[in-house]
């Protein structure tokens, strides 16, 4: 019964840990996730969680066999307390002696876990960089032989060392057990007056102890791996939740009832990464975006456009300065609900295989409309809020991301180089049809772009360089240009 119960508890815990980790990942600030890296998260979500659960599954064995050991000790107490004290002292000394190598074995498991992070990183490189690795035999050789092989070899050695130590500890425990038997049979009677009956009871009981002790010893490596995994999950959990977005999943408190201006004053942001020397300072930025404005943001590569966008969207909290929306200050407490005012299509847009959260009749009708407007109707269908496929070209996938953003229907829109991967015809549709339509619907639209051919349709063009705004120009209206 205890085994069944505990295996159910183990599965329940697996379920809870997975959910808790996923919640932590989604509630953690974006920057923390970026610094951790997806490979470490994947390793935690898979390997660590599994190891914790496997360790839990051997707990029944540990408890059952442990209780047998305890029962034997109780029995021996009834037979001869002084003799039991001797046995107890011997066992305590053995545990103490064996603790040191065990700790050593655990340190190897700890290191193996870090190596596993590196291996997950290599797996990621192998899947995401598959094309690049296939294209160059030299690069592939270096990747397989130098990078992957080195980590895989290190992992193998660390695990083997830990295993060998655990086995040695196990066998030493068995040997000590036989030494104990020998001491009791051949040495103890010489120094203490002990009856034949007591001796027989003790020897039989201790022989019986062999099975439970071996089972406990055999469970130790699994428990060891579980403890290492749990520590790793805790460490990760802490680093994820250090500055958790406290308002995650609360009802929006920043809902706008009328168009509002977005103001940034003295905003700064510095990329800090303990593992890398790269540092980039954005700001101080002072900016006011009027309600209903169509703002283009331009500038060279690495000038800080995307970073500014992430700050505007409330994904990066600024280090300094303040953001106000409709005159109200954005704080750590309301940033989550502030974000709900924006729809964004990022340069590396991720497309879900459904409308996810927007599958109501109205949203689906809107999505269907956009499917036609974005010329995707021959490529995929939407049924029950689900896309029939997301296996599309990069430009088409970006159009699908745009469709999702349209369905959200929020007061602010942000597009990060959306048109860069579109053909000239669609670029035209985007700048001359979609953006003016959004503006006409009273939306405030921020477009990160290098397309200077279309700057004339913007209300303002903001130019960035080295993390600072270097110019902010009101554009002459298209009609003025024509005249």
Ligand X SMILES: Nc1ncnc2c1ncn2[C@@H]1O[C@H](COP(=O)(O)OP(=O)(O)OP(=O)(O)O)[C@@H](O)[C@H]1O
Asked if 53 and 10 count as a contact pair (C-beta separation under 8 A), the reply is yes
Decide if 368 contacts 382 (C-beta within 8 A): yes
Binding of ligand X by 136 (CB under 6 A): no
Q: Is 269 in the site for ligand X (CB under 6 A)?
A: no
- The residue (of 102 and 303) whose beta carbon lies closer to ligand X is 303
Distances (CA, A) of 401 to 275, 312, 346: 33, 19, 9
With respect to ligand X, which residue has the nearer C-beta, 159 or 305? 305
* Closest to 435 (Cα-Cα) out of 416, 456, 452, 458: 458
The verdict on 226 binding ligand X (CB under 6 A) reads: no
* Neighbouring-strand partners of residue 298: 463
**CB 467 to ligand X: min, Å:** 7
Q: Does 388 bind ligand X (CB under 6 A)?
A: no
Stretch that binds ligand X, among 181-189, 245-253, 302-310, 385-393 (CB under 6 A): 302-310
Q: Which is nearer to ligand X, 18 or 463 (CB)?
A: 463
Q: Compare residues 301 and 383 and give the one whose CB is closer to ligand X.
A: 301
Return the bridge partners of 267, or none.
285
CB closer to ligand X out of 163 and 271: 271
Contact residue for ligand X among 8, 34, 253, 389 (CB under 6 A): 34
Task: Measure the CA–CA gap between 179 and 383, rounded to whole angstroms.
Answer: 73
Residue of 47, 117, 158, 307 interacting with ligand X (CB under 6 A): 307
Stretch that binds ligand X, among 172-180, 271-279, 286-294, 428-436 (CB under 6 A): 271-279
Distance in angstroms (rounded) separating the CA atoms of residues 171 and 330: 63
Residue selected from 40, 225, 305, 398 as contacting ligand X according to rule CB under 6 A = 305
Q: Whose Cβ is closer to ligand X: residue 346's or residue 426's?
A: 346
Instruction: Give the residue nearest to ligand X (CB).
Output: 302
304 binds ligand X (CB under 6 A): yes
When the beta carbons of 275 and 384 are compared against ligand X, the nearer one is 275
Q: Which of 301, 264, 269, 302 is nearest to 283 (CA)?
A: 269
Between residues 76 and 312, which has the closer beta carbon with respect to ligand X? 312
Using the contact rule CB under 6 A, the part of the chain among 54-62, 147-155, 211-219, 301-309 near ligand X is: 301-309
Whether 228 contacts 102, CB under 8 Å: no
Q: Is 306 in the site for ligand X (CB under 6 A)?
A: yes
- Of 13-21, 205-213, 294-302, 404-412, which part binds ligand X (CB under 6 A)? 294-302
- # residues near ligand X by CB under 6 A: 13
Residue corresponding to tokens 């290191």:
111
Q: What distances in angstroms separate CA 466 from CA 214, 283, 304, 419, one per listed residue?
A: 65, 9, 7, 23
Q: Does the protein bind ligand X through residue 318 (CB under 6 A)?
A: no
Nearer to ligand X among residue 138 and residue 275 (C-beta): 275
Apex CA 378: angle with CA 377 and CA 379, to 5°?
Answer: 90
Contact call for residue 277 and ligand X (CB under 6 A): no
Among candidate residues 117, 224, 214, the one with its CA nearest the CA of residue 163: 224
Task: Specify whether the CB–CB gap between 219 and 54 falls below 8 A.
Answer: no
User: Which member of 158, 232, 303, 460 binds ligand X (CB under 6 A)?
Assistant: 303
Q: How far is the C-alpha of 448 from the C-alpha of 394, rounded, in Å?
A: 18
Tell me if 275 contacts ligand X by CB under 6 A.
Answer: no
Residue from 89, 302, 360, 442 that binds ligand X (CB under 6 A)? 302
Figure out which of the listed residues 63, 75, 271, 455 binds ligand X, where binding follows CB under 6 A.
Answer: 271
Binding site for ligand X (CB under 6 A): 34, 271, 273, 278, 280, 299, 301-307
């Amino acid at each position: 019964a205890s085994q069944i119960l505990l295996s159910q508890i183990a599965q329940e815990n697996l379920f809870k840990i997975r959910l808790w980790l996923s919640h932590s990942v989604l509630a953690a600030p974006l920057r923390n996730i970026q610094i951790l890296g997806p490979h470490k998260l994947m390793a935690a979500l898979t390997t660590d969680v599994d190891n914790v659960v496997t360790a839990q599954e051997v707990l029944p064995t540990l408890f059952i066999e442990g209780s047998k050991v305890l029962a034997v000790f109780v029995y021996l107490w009834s037979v001869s307390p002084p003799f039991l004290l001797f046995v107890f002292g011997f066992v305590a000394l053995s545990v103490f002696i064996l603790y040191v190598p065990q700790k050593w074995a655990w340190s190897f498991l700890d290191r193996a876990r870090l190596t596993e992070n590196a291996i997950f990183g290599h797996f990621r490189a192998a899947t995401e960089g598959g094309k690049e690795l296939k294209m160059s035999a030299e690069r592939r050789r270096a990747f397989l032989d130098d990078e992957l092989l080195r980590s895989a070899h290190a992992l193998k050695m660390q695990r083997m060392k830990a295993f060998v130590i655990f086995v040695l500890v196990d066998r030493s425990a068995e040997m000590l057990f036989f030494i104990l038997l020998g001491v009791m049979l051949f040495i103890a009677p010489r120094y203490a007056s002990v009856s034949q009956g007591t001796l027989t009871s003790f020897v039989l009981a201790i022989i019986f102890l062999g099975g439970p002790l071996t089972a406990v010893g055999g469970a130790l490596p699994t428990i060891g791996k579980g403890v290492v995994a749990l520590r790793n999950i805790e460490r990760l959990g802490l680093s994820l939740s250090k500055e958790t977005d406290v308002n995650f999943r609360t009802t929006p408190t920043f809902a706008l009832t009328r168009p509002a201006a977005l103001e940034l004053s003295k905003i700064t942001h510095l990329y800090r990464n303990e593992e890398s020397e790269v540092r980039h300072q954005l700001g101080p930025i002072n900016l006011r975006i009027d309600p209903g404005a169509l703002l283009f943001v331009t500038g060279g590569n690495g000038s800080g456009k995307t970073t500014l966008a992430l700050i505007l969207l409330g994904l990066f909290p600024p280090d300094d300065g303040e953001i106000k929306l409709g005159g109200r200050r954005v704080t750590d407490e309301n940033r989550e609900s502030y974000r709900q005012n924006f729809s964004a299509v990022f340069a590396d847009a991720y497309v879900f295989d459904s409308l996810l959260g927007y599958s109501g009749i109205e949203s689906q009708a809107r999505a269907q409309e956009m499917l036609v407007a974005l010329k995707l109707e021959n490529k995929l269908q939407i049924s029950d809020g689900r896309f029939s496929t997301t296996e599309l070209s990069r430009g088409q996938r970006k159009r699908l991301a745009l469709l999702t953003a349209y369905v959200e229907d929020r007061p602010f829109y942000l597009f990060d180089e959306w048109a860069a991967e579109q053909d000239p015809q669609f670029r035209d549709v985007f700048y001359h049809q979609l953006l003016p339509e959004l503006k006409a619907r009273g939306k405030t639209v921020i477009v990160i772009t290098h397309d200077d051919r279309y700057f004339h349709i913007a209300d303002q063009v903001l130019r960035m360089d080295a993390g600072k705004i270097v110019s902010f120009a009101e554009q002459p209206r298209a009609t003025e240009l024509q005249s």
